[in-house]
């Protein structure tokens, strides 16, 4: 039986120290809410330490009792925990971060009397999906939808862009330093969505008590791009001549196997498998349903990719001083 929701004052963010979480904390703050940033280690949330009305707390997400204690006094919980890669390729790391953490968060939220729960999932989340990432995101969604005592919603963004993203931010160093870029999955289609639109969507979902519990919002930007075009755009807009060479499937898989062993695992077999599904909105346009006009890449990304004149002068001086 669903409890009638208490007035929303304090929103807890699990995984709130990350790219989307930081943007969401600032948006909630601007909208007048208090936030509680729950993190595995307080240092991870350092950029949020000084945000007024935000309280950062270290908690072990798999310890339900500790998590319930940390959630006490919050009316809503947004689960932003997510990983793109795990140690090895067994799927265990994905299950723990996505499924087990979600089950624990749901139980703790119930125990703490939290009434609203928003799960940040991903387009193509599917228990039968082609990768551990998509399967574990899909299983986590199922657990959320099975919940009867919390008012739940799921957002499923395509790839997200904005300051500090892992999309343009990942390719910029590559197109800056490489003479050309051999790219796995260059033909994969995606619908990049602005982080400000994703956080606005979450804010509107949290504030709308009329939404049916279990509502799902697919979030995509105004345009569909291929990964290859996005990387070409990154090179062109940042002023680098770096042709992108799309790799055939066998070479893409090989690239994934090699990159899996590089420090930081910049690309993996599991990422490669995820790219088999286009990350494009299939159902209703979630942003439009929430009354949000999707922000185009061109109005945000050029400013992020072009180094400021000051930074350029500084780099030039460093180079000439050979430092």
Ligand X SMILES: NC(=O)c1ccc[n+]([C@@H]2O[C@H](COP(=O)([O-])OP(=O)(O)OC[C@H]3O[C@@H](n4cnc5c(N)ncnc54)[C@H](OP(=O)(O)O)[C@@H]3O)[C@@H](O)[C@H]2O)c1
Contact set for ligand X, span 64-83 (CB under 6 A):
80-83
Q: Do 305 and 172 meet the contact criterion of CB atoms below 8 Å apart?
A: yes
Q: Apex CA 33: angle with CA 31 and CA 38, to 5°?
A: 125
Q: Do 238 and 232 meet the contact criterion of CB atoms below 8 Å apart?
A: no
Residue 18 is a binding residue for ligand X (CB under 6 A) = yes
Residue 116 φ/ψ region, left for φ over 0, alpha for ψ in the -120 to 50 degree band, beta for the rest? beta
Q: Do 244 and 186 meet the contact criterion of CB atoms below 8 Å apart?
A: yes
The stretch among 10-18, 70-78, 107-115, 300-308 that binds ligand X (CB under 6 A) is 10-18
Closest separation between CB of residue 81 and ligand X, Å?
Answer: 4
Is the Cβ of residue 21 or residue 138 nearer to ligand X in the bound state? Answer: 21
Name the DSSP class of 4: P
Residues with Cβ within 8 Å of residue 15, at least 6 apart in sequence: 21, 39, 79, 80, 81, 82, 120
Contact set for ligand X, span 149-178 (CB under 6 A):
157, 159-160, 166
From CA 172, how far away is CA 234, in angstroms rounded? 6
Closest separation between CB of residue 132 and ligand X, Å?
Answer: 13
Q: Is 280 helix (H, G, I), strand (E, B) or coil?
A: coil
Is the Cβ of residue 5 or residue 163 nearer to ligand X in the bound state? Answer: 163
Closest separation between CB of residue 37 and ligand X, Å?
Answer: 8
Using CB under 6 A, which of 8, 74, 99, 120 touches ligand X?
A: 120
Residue 28 is a binding residue for ligand X (CB under 6 A) = no
Count of residues near ligand X by CB under 6 A? 23
Using CB under 6 A, which of 11, 13, 15, 220 touches ligand X?
A: 15
Is the Cβ of residue 5 or residue 189 nearer to ligand X in the bound state? Answer: 189
Using CB under 6 A, which of 10, 13, 21, 131 touches ligand X?
A: 21
Is the Cβ of residue 15 or residue 228 nearer to ligand X in the bound state? Answer: 15
Cα dihedral sign, 83-84-87-90: positive
From CA 265, how far away is CA 268, in angstroms rounded? 7
Residue 226 is a binding residue for ligand X (CB under 6 A) = no
Contact set for ligand X, span 78-117 (CB under 6 A):
80-83, 97, 101
* Closest residue by beta carbon to ligand X: 18
DSSP letters spanning 181-198: EEETTTT-EE--EEHHHH
Is the Cβ of residue 44 or residue 72 nearer to ligand X in the bound state? Answer: 44
Using CB under 6 A, which of 8, 20, 287, 292 touches ligand X?
A: 20
Closest separation between CB of residue 312 and ligand X, Å?
Answer: 28
From CA 61, how far away is CA 102, in angstroms rounded? 9
Neighbours of 110 (CB within 10 A): 19
**What mask of x and - would describe binding to ligand X in positions 31 to 60, judged by CB under 6 A?**
--------xx---xx---------------
Neighbours of 170 (CB within 10 A): 13
List contacts with ligand X (CB under 6 A): 15, 17-21, 39-40, 44-45, 61, 80-83, 97, 101, 120, 122, 157, 159-160, 166
């Amino acid at each position: 039986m669903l409890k009638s929701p208490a007035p929303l004052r304090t929103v807890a963010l699990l995984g709130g120290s990350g790219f989307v979480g930081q943007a969401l904390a600032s948006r909630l703050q601007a909208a007048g809410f208090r936030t509680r940033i729950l993190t595995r280690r307080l240092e991870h949330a350092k950029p949020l330490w000084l945000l007024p009305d935000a309280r950062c707390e270290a908690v072990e997400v798999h310890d339900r009792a500790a998590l319930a204690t940390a959630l006490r006094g919050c009316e809503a919980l947004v689960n932003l925990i997510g990983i793109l890669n795990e140690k090895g390729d067994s799927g265990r790391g994905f299950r723990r971060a996505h499924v087990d953490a979600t089950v624990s968060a749901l139980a703790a939220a119930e125990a703490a009397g939290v009434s609203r729960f928003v799960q940040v999932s991903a387009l193509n989340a599917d228990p039968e999906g082609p990768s551990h990432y998509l399967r574990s995101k899909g299983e986590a969604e199922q657990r959320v939808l099975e919940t009867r005592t919390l008012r739940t919603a799921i957002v499923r963004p395509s790839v997200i862009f904005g300051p500090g993203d892992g999309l343009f931010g990942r390719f910029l160093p590559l197109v800056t330093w490489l003479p050309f870029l051999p790219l796995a999955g260059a033909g994969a289609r995606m619908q990049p969505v602005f982080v400000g639109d994703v956080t606005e969507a979450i804010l509107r979902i949290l504030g709308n008590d009329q939404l049916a519990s279990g509502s799902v919002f697919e979030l995509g930007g105004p345009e569909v791009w291929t990964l290859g075009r996005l990387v070409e755009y990154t090179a062109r807009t940042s002023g680098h001549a770096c042709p992108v060479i799309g790799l055939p499937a066998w070479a893409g898989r090989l690239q994934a196997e090699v990159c899996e062993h590089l420090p930081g695992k910049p690309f993996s077999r599991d990422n490669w498998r995820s790219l088999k599904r286009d990350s494009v909105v299939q159902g209703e346009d979630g942003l439009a349903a929430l009354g949000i006009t999707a922000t185009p890449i061109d109005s945000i990304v050029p400013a992020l990719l072009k180094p400021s004149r000051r930074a350029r002068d500084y780099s030039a001086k460093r180079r000439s001083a050979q430092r």
